[in-house]
A and B are shown apart, each in its own frame.
Chain A
Amino acid sequence: GAGVSQSPRYKVAKRGQDVALRCDPISGHVSLFWYQQALGQGPEFLTYFQNEAQLDKSGLPSDRFFAERPEGSVSTLKIQRTQQEDSAVYLCASSLAGAKNIQYFGAGTRLSVL
Chain B
Amino acid sequence: DQQVKQNSPSLSVQEGRISILNCDYTNSMFDYFLWYKKYPAEGPTFLISISSIKDKNEDGRFTVFLNKSAKHLSLHIVPSQPGDSAVYFCAASFGNEKLTFGTGTRLTIIP
**Which residues of B are in contact with A by a Cβ distance under 8 Å?**
4, 6, 32, 34, 36, 41-46, 49, 51, 89, 91, 93, 95-104
Contact = CB atoms under 8 A, between A and B. Distances in A.
Nearest to B91: A42
A56 B97 CA distance: 10
Given A4-B43, A102-B34, A102-B49, A43 B101 contact: yes
B44 A43 contact: yes
Interface residues of A, number: 28
Interface of A: 4, 31, 33, 35, 40-45, 48, 55-56, 59, 91, 93, 95, 98-108
Contacts of A107: 41-43
Give the top 10 A-B pairs by smallest Cβ distance, nearest first.
A42-B101, A105-B43, A45-B98, A107-B43, A105-B44, A102-B46, A100-B32, A42-B103, A43-B101, A106-B43
21 contacts: A33-B97, A33-B98, A40-B103, A42-B102, A42-B104, A43-B44, A43-B99, A43-B101, A44-B101, A56-B98, A59-B98, A95-B97, A99-B93, A99-B96, A99-B97, A100-B93, A102-B46, A104-B46, A105-B44, A105-B45, A108-B43
